[in-house]
Amino acid sequence: MSGGYDDRDGKIWMDGALVEWRDAKVHILSHALHYASSVFEGERCYDGTIFEGHAHSERLIRSAALIDFEIPYTAEQIDAAKEEVLKANGLENAYVRAVAWRGAGPDMGVASARNPVRMAVAAWEWGNYYGDAKTRGAKLDLSKWKRPSPETIPSEAKAAGLYMICTMSKHAAEAKGCSDAMMLDYRGYVAEATGANIFFVKDGEVHTPLPDCFLNGITRQTVLKMLKEKGITVHERHIMPEELEGFQQCWLTGTAAEVTPVGQIGDYSFEVGALTRDISDSYEKLVRS
């Protein structure tokens, strides 16, 4: 599949029915376009099965509730829509994007309670999110933007508006030749990358930031479970940026990122070590089991 995302062949599920890819459109006065009243999920299908697909559907509904709207579909109906899209497009291995938003209606100010809630599901083939970083290790910049306090945003929601500073951070990182950026939180603790959670290794033990002001990713939770099953000691805690000097390995987790090794963050370097490779390989086997 090539070309712009608005100019492709295929089918997209939209508001309960499959439509031609190029016909999946919204009005310019959709509330979400102006006020970010939108939530989404990114999922991967492996050999015909979406990994943790139902958990993603449930989180989509929960995210919408956190930003004050109700999706007019159950998690089971969303699951069925995703399967319908994959089948219609003949995809066995794909990235799946479900999105729900407040559309155009009688409200066009900040408030939008009377506007209809709309939903769509698309799927396409998508390779490694960080390209060859899967083997070499990604290079990360240090973002100037910080994850805000949960008193200022619904940090547990996968909401479009929360990614604005992520986009800005990733653009700045790419301009420096990096794959991504690591963000701190409002207190100065290590938080996450722009679209992935982060893990560190020191003397055979794993350290990962406590997700008290950013999304506790489904892949993150999966990897934590894998580590504990392997008997690896895991510390979920607040991490200061100066601690990076003492860590030997690092990796990112996310549906798009999967498990991606990190070779460098700013001036700090990390080896793509045995534990990182083991977790990456184990995750790959798990999602295809």
Measured distance CA(121)–CA(104) in Å, rounded: 19
Residue 2: pLDDT band with limits 50, 70, 90: low
DSSP designation for 116: P
- Give burial (CB, 10 Å; 0-12/13-18/19+) of 103: buried
Is the pTM above the cut of 0.75? yes
pLDDT digits (tens, 9 = 90+) for 190-241: 999 999 999 999 999 999 999 999 999 999 999 999 999 999 999 999 999 9
Residue 131: pLDDT band with limits 50, 70, 90: confident
Reply yes or no on whether the pLDDT at 29 is more than 70.
yes
Q: Say if CB 126 and CB 109 are below 8 A apart.
A: no
Helix (H) or strand (E) holding 44: strand 38-46
Coil, strand or helix: which one is 38? strand
Q: Say if CB 50 and CB 80 are below 8 A apart.
A: no
CA distances from 108 to 28, 30, 186, 277 (A): 11, 8, 32, 50
- The reported pLDDT for the residue numbered 165 is 98
The set of catalytic residues is 158
Coil, strand or helix: which one is 187? coil
Mean pLDDT of 86-112: 97
pLDDT digits (tens, 9 = 90+) for 156-201: 999 999 999 999 999 999 999 999 999 999 999 999 999 999 999 9
Give the chain's domains with CATH numbers: 11-124 (3.30.470.10), 133-287 (3.20.10.10)
Residue type present at position 262: V
CA distances from 17 to 24, 77, 113, 125 (A): 11, 12, 24, 21
